[in-house]
Amino acid sequence: MKLIKKAKKNITIFSFLLPSILAFSIFSVFSISFSFFLSFTDWDILTPFSFMGFENYSNILHSEEFWRVLKNTLYYMVLYIPLIIIFSLIVALLLNVKSKATNIFRTIFFIPVLTSWVAAAMLWRWLLSPYYGPVNAIFQFFGIHGPNWLYDSRWAMPAIVLASLWKDVGYFGLIFLSGLQAIDPSYYEAAEIDGASAIQRFLRITFPLLSPSVFFVLIITSINSFQLFPQVMIMTQGGPFGSTEVFMERIYSYAFKYYEMGYASAYSWILFVFIFLFTVLQWIFQKRWVHYET
């Protein structure tokens, strides 16, 4: 009797987990193993594959393209990450000031977060049109001759950064805002009594207490930056002269334009290693600057 009851209980548990477990086994466990296996082959879908050992990996690491892709990605990160953190912090600090229009401002910053990247990237391609776009028209108004943006290999990546900043500032601003609102106001009251200036209050109270949020944003933006995709696909397709070629765009091209499934899989594992190492490094270094309240 007890045994039947137990079996019945286990069947119930299993049936509740069944949809998740099935999809997990196929689209995660099998997929990840299959991708790893593929990365050692030269499979092109149409003809039978043969094993290559580490050839895909070594070909990628020895190609000029790979180092260009890495350089482009790091360039994007060096521009985007500090700027998005600074702007989002500013937006959060401004939205934290109570005013009658706070909710309107909040919505305005949030609209780009809601739009799809495809729509946003098309819009920015048009905004940055060298002759007919409003950005250069505004520059013209101040007597500055604007660059050719997406058609100039020096300006294409900064243009993508600009679009990304516009799209993401509301999201990370909101994350910092919820961090700010969690800070106990009595800290500020005490500091005010002690005569601390606004800058001192920011550096000694706000920033340390906000550092876990900053750390979170740093992790998320790094992971996202390595996987930059729709902006590049819609705005530049990797051009001009490979100046905006990035990992996901390369993986997509190898897999779904040239059907080099093995090579593309190897590329995706190299990307994984970069993301993994970067995240681990940030975890190690966080002890030096992230302050957790006990």
49-88 residues in contact with another protein (CB under 8 A) are none
User: Can you state the percent helix, strand and coil of the chain, rounding each to 5?
Assistant: 75, 0, 25
175 binds another protein (CB under 8 A): yes
Q: Exactly one of 105, 139, 188, 207 binds another protein (CB under 8 A); which one? A: 105
12 binds another protein (CB under 8 A): yes
Of 234, 229, 232, 233, the C-alpha closest to 126 is 234
| 263, 280 Cβ separation under 8 angstroms | no
- Provide the minimum distance between the beta carbon of 141 and another protein in the complex, in angstroms, as a whole number: 9
Closer to another protein at the Cβ: 187 or 229?
229
203 binds another protein (CB under 8 A): no
- Provide the minimum distance between the beta carbon of 50 and another protein in the complex, in angstroms, as a whole number: 17
Helix (H, G, I), strand (E, B) or coil at 199: helix
Q: Exactly one of 60, 79, 159, 234 binds another protein (CB under 8 A); which one? A: 234
- Provide the minimum distance between the beta carbon of 263 and another protein in the complex, in angstroms, as a whole number: 10
- Provide the minimum distance between the beta carbon of 138 and another protein in the complex, in angstroms, as a whole number: 9
139 to 168, contacts with another protein by CB under 8 A? 166
218 binds another protein (CB under 8 A): no
Q: Note the residue count of the chain.
A: 294
Tokens of 136: 């250069």
258 binds another protein (CB under 8 A): no
261 binds another protein (CB under 8 A): yes
137 binds another protein (CB under 8 A): yes
Number of residues that bind another protein (CB under 8 A): 85
Which residues contact residue 174 at a Cβ distance below 8 angstroms, ignoring those fewer than 6 apart?
92, 106, 109, 110, 113
Q: Exactly one of 69, 80, 268, 290 binds another protein (CB under 8 A); which one? A: 268
Query: Which stretch, 53-61, 117-125, 148-156, 186-194, contacts another protein (CB under 8 A)?
Result: 117-125
Kindly tell me the burial class for residue 238, based on how many C-beta atoms sit within 10 Å of its own C-beta (0-12, 13-18, 19 or more).
buried
- Provide the minimum distance between the beta carbon of 204 and another protein in the complex, in angstroms, as a whole number: 21
- Provide the minimum distance between the beta carbon of 74 and another protein in the complex, in angstroms, as a whole number: 17
Neighbours of 232 (CB within 10 A): 25
Helix (H, G, I), strand (E, B) or coil at 292: coil
In our burial notation (b when 16+ CB lie closer than 10 A, e otherwise), range 160-191 reads bbbbbbebbbbbbbbbbbebbeebeeeeeeeb
